[in-house]
């Protein structure tokens, strides 16, 4: 990586990388943008250290290709996770409401399972909310604004609706 300065490469390509990810990543997965950016630059600099960039194209073209491929890879990963969750729910749907006690236990298991699939940035907020904390208490604990707490909870609900459309009405509060 003798001819490449990490800081200048990032500075010169950050808008290209963000635009490429924004154009390629499926909208409902936009919470993964940071992860994709990190993976792009990790792969770029790992490859640069090993002499993987041969100069046959512009550096920005090469990085664009890596950003596009990483975005596609994230799309595939998230789609597989969604499909796995849907199959699980379909498989277990018939057993969900055998009794009130069973319902409560299954609802709790479903919540825990769903929380693991929720983008990480929202998980802590949701867990605190489900533990009975107020919006103000959550905001103070996470050192964020109350509006951010509300936004994260809303986005989580939207993510669940989009990701698991078959269950959006089955777990509403009674």
pLDDT of 47 > 80? The answer is yes
Q: Alpha-carbon distance 117 to 164, whole Å? A: 11
What per-residue confidence (pLDDT) applies to 41?
95
Per-residue model confidence (pLDDT) at position 174 = 37
CATH number of 96-167: 1.10.10.10
Contacts of residue 92, Cβ cutoff 8 Å, sequence gap at least 6: 106
Mean per-residue pLDDT for 23-34? 89
Report pLDDT digits (tens) over 111-161: 677 777 777 778 788 878 888 888 888 888 888 888 888 888 888 887 777
Distance CA 14, CA 104 (A): 47
Where along the chain do the CATH 1.10.10.10 domains lie?
A: 96-167
Structure tokens at 111: 């919540």
Q: Indicate the pTM of the whole model.
A: 0.54
Written as one string, the DSSP assignment of 99-152 is: -HHHHHHHHHHHHHHHHHHS-HHHHHHHHHHHTT--HHHHHHHHTS-HHHHHHH
Give domain 6-79's CATH architecture. Answer: Orthogonal Bundle (1.10)
Produce one character per residue of 115-124: b if its CB has 16 or more CB atoms within 10 Å, e if not.
bebbbeebee
Q: What pLDDT digit, counting tens, does each position of 49-80 carry?
A: 888 888 888 999 999 999 999 999 999 998 99
The pLDDT-based confidence of 1 (bands split at 50, 70, 90) is: very low
């Amino acid at each position: 990586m003798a001819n490449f300065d990490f800081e200048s490469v990032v500075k010169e390509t950050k808008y290209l990388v963000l635009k490429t990810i924004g154009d390629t990543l499926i909208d409902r997965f936009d919470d993964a943008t940071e992860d994709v950016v990190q993976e792009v630059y990790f792969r770029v600099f790992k490859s640069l250290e090993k002499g993987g960039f041969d100069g046959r194209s512009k550096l920005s073209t090469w990085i664009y290709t890596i950003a596009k491929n990483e975005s596609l890879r994230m799309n595939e990963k998230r789609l597989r996770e969604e499909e796995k969750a849907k199959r699980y729910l379909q498989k277990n749907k018939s057993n969900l409401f055998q009794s009130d006690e069973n319902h409560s236990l299954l609802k709790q298991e479903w919540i825990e399972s769903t929380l693991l699939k929720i983008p990480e940035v929202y998980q802590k907020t949701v867990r605190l909310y489900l533990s009975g904390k107020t919006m103000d208490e959550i905001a103070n604990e996470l050192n964020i604004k109350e509006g951010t707490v509300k936004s994260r909870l809303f986005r989580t609900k939207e993510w669940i609706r989009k990701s698991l459309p078959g269950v959006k009405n089955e777990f509403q509060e009674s």
